[in-house]
Amino acid sequence: PSSLVPPRLPTPTSSHQAALTTSCSRMASTASSSAPCHEVLVSRCDDHVEVAVSSPLLECARVYAFALSEPLSSFFSQLAADLGCEAADIQLVAASGATMSALMSHAYAWKPGRSLSVTREQGSCTFAVAFSDGAAPRMQRGASSFVGAVSDPRLPMKYVVVTGGVVSGLGKGVTASSLGVLLKCAGYRVTSMKIDPYLNVDAGTMSPFEHGEVFTLDDGGEVDLDLGNYERFIGVTLGRDNNITTGKMYQQCLERERRGDYLGKTVQVVPHVTDAIMEWIERVAHIPADDQPGPPDVCVIELGGTVGDIESMPFIEALRQFQFRVGRDNMCFMHVSLVPVIGVVGEEKTKPTQHSVQNLRAVGLMPDFLVCRSTKPLASSTKHKLALFCHVPPENCIGVHDVSNIYRVPLLLNFQGVTHRLLTRLSLPHPKERIETGALSHWISLAELVDSLTVPVKIAVVGKYTELSDAYLSVTKALSHASFRVERKLCIEWID
């Protein structure tokens, strides 16, 4: 959609820049003649196409990128907006003079001998279509616009999926945020997504008593509070599309059906909804969430709810297919489950986690890591028992017990070797020098500071939903951060 924030492009390599410079020089030399230059340079990659457009009608040359499966209509809409005309005024014409349908995909549309015809109030013009050999050129963001987001086969995106079992509210959001912290401390750029399997289009109309506060993002998107947790932990700026809901997916598919994009086919959950989910994930994962150019390195995805819920089945099926679409080496599954401690003797029960993993494996997802929530540190025998019955290596059974503050969770995960094993699982280089020189030192200092605060400061918060503290989570977090800064222990007095 055109409302999306365009992802930033990586700085082009010398070969890519040379190819583009040669093309632009050819465009410029043609433009210096009596006739104005209108040219399209098409570069096709393994899974997407990049279209560089140069014309006196544009302020500067622009690059548009789309997946091969996308229709031409998406390109026409974006080009029309830049040229100041209507999408219906743009046509792709074959050498025979036949007009190509706007519903034709990019995989079949771009062939030698075709040209682009644009009709404007000032008259019509024809864009000559040329093709680039080799890798697709990438223009610097300052001199181009980039539309769409597609996989870069040169730098494959890595995905970490966090699921939950047994009960909700185990801390999947904190776990996902902590993984982002560890990856960022290892030197990788991270983005996050949250999947909420409810039929609401967004959380804007939901009562705070349902899921806590409605967090407002930088682009005005009203989303689940977990995305606020991602932003605070990882230090990223997310958009409304980083929150996927069942309502959004169904709405998108129904709009496509009304437009006739499915060409009369029977629209079903599989494959149409699941394909839409996979396309959404792959597109949004490549949108940068920081102030650096180019797509992120790793996308952390949290699947809301618990495994086995009817509401989440389309997303689980989409993730099952997605692991083969991007490659199993580029995707890691982390399952958060509960290990209850029963009785005064403190016996740790593994049966709920065993059943949860069985349900997960039954739908085609194999967990690479088990994050076991408990009230106390897990015994080594419990981890080996879980490894035996859940088909997970013992070293990948991670115990996450109750800690004094949430800032200790990344430290707890790193202490158990999650950073090293996660990078190994995703085939990412190990930046030992960063880890050994204390990339987590600021987290250690923060965790120790929070536990050492003793001088209280009382703040009164007057609100309507004070019975649920999560209804004002962003307010309490802002107050907490301020109290850390002045080294005071925050005491909130809730006033209804």
For range 148-154, the mean pLDDT = 37
Crossing angle between the packed helical segments 473-485 and 225-234, to the nearest 10 degrees = 20
Per-residue H/E/C for 7-63 = CCCCCCCHHHHHHHHHHHHHHHHHHCCCCCCCEEEEEECCCEEEEEEECCCCCCCEE
- Tokens read off for 19: 């190819």
CA-to-CA distance for 399 and 7, rounded, in angstroms? 37
Q: So what's the pLDDT on residue 36?
A: 54
For range 150-157, the mean pLDDT = 52
For range 189-200, the mean pLDDT = 94
CA-to-CA distance for 325 and 329, rounded, in angstroms? 11
Instruction: Choose the weakest-confidence range: 71-85, 205-219, 301-315.
Output: 71-85
pLDDT score of 316 more than 80: yes
Q: So what's the pLDDT on residue 431?
A: 65
pLDDT class for 153, splitting at 50, 70, 90?
very low
CA-to-CA distance for 2 and 11, rounded, in angstroms? 23
Task: Give pTM, 2 decimals.
Answer: 0.69
Helix, strand or coil for residue 322?
helix
CA-to-CA distance for 75 and 83, rounded, in angstroms? 12
251-291 pLDDT, tens digit per residue, is 999 999 999 998 989 999 999 999 999 999 999 999 989 88
Q: How far is CA 51 from the centre of its chain?
A: 24
For range 483-490, the mean pLDDT = 92
Cβ proximity of 256 and 218 under 8 Å: no
Q: So what's the pLDDT on residue 194?
A: 96
Q: So what's the pLDDT on residue 48?
A: 79
Ordered by start, the domain boundaries in the chain are 14-143, 158-446, 453-495
More confidently predicted of 449 and 70: 449
- % of the chain surpassing 90 pLDDT: 51
Distances (CA, A) of 333 to 303, 409, 422: 11, 19, 10
CA-to-CA distance for 242 and 267, rounded, in angstroms? 25
For range 166-178, the mean pLDDT = 91
405-425 pLDDT, tens digit per residue, is 999 999 999 999 999 999 999
Q: What is the CATH number of domain 158-446?
A: 3.40.50.300
**Which residue(s) pair with 164 in the sheet?**
336
For range 133-155, the mean pLDDT = 39
Burial of 310 (0-12, 13-18, 19+ CB in 10 A): exposed
Distances (CA, A) of 38 to 41, 55, 124, 127: 10, 5, 11, 5
Cβ proximity of 280 and 322 under 8 Å: no
More confidently predicted of 131 and 418: 418
Q: So what's the pLDDT on residue 332?
A: 97
Q: So what's the pLDDT on residue 392?
A: 94
pLDDT score of 186 more than 50: yes
So what's the architecture of 14-143 in CATH?
Roll (3.10)
Q: Which residues of 16-52 are buried (b: 16+ CB within 10 A; e: fewer)?
A: beebbeebbeebeeeeeeeeebbbbbbbbbeebbbbb
Cβ proximity of 413 and 178 under 8 Å: yes
For range 465-480, the mean pLDDT = 90
pLDDT score of 294 more than 90: no
Reading phi first (left if > 0) and then psi (alpha if -120 to 50, else beta), residue 97 is in left
- Tokens read off for 77: 């809409």
10-31 pLDDT, tens digit per residue, is 444 444 444 444 444 444 444 3
Cβ-defined contacts of 360-364 (< 8 Å, 24+): 360/163, 360/165, 360/307, 360/335, 361/391, 363/307, 363/313, 363/316, 363/317, 363/320, 364/316, 364/317, 364/320
Helix, strand or coil for residue 398?
strand
Q: So what's the pLDDT on residue 252?
A: 94
Distances (CA, A) of 304 to 171, 241, 260, 431: 11, 16, 32, 31
pLDDT class for 45, splitting at 50, 70, 90?
confident
- % of the chain surpassing 70 pLDDT: 86
**Summary mean pLDDT of the chain:** 83
For range 286-300, the mean pLDDT = 89
Distances (CA, A) of 60 to 28, 84, 109, 346: 12, 14, 25, 69
DSSP letter assigned to residue 220? S
Q: What angle do CA 284, 287, 288 make, to 5 degrees?
A: 140
Helix (H) / strand (E) element for 452: namely helix 441-452
DSSP letter assigned to residue 379? P
- Going across the sheet that includes 369-374, the strands are 243-245, 190-196, 298-303, 158-164, 331-338, 369-374, 397-401
Cβ proximity of 223 and 240 under 8 Å: yes
| 162: nearest Cα among 420, 391, 368, 396 | 368
Instruction: Choose the weakest-confidence range: 261-275, 287-301, 328-342, 428-442.
Output: 428-442
Q: So what's the pLDDT on residue 133?
A: 62
Helix (H) / strand (E) element for 278: namely helix 274-285
User: What is the residue whose two structure tokens read 């999408």?
Assistant: 87
Q: What angle do CA 14, 16, 20 make, to 5 degrees?
A: 115
| 240: nearest Cα among 257, 217, 260 | 217
Q: So what's the pLDDT on residue 207?
A: 87
Q: So what's the pLDDT on residue 366?
A: 95
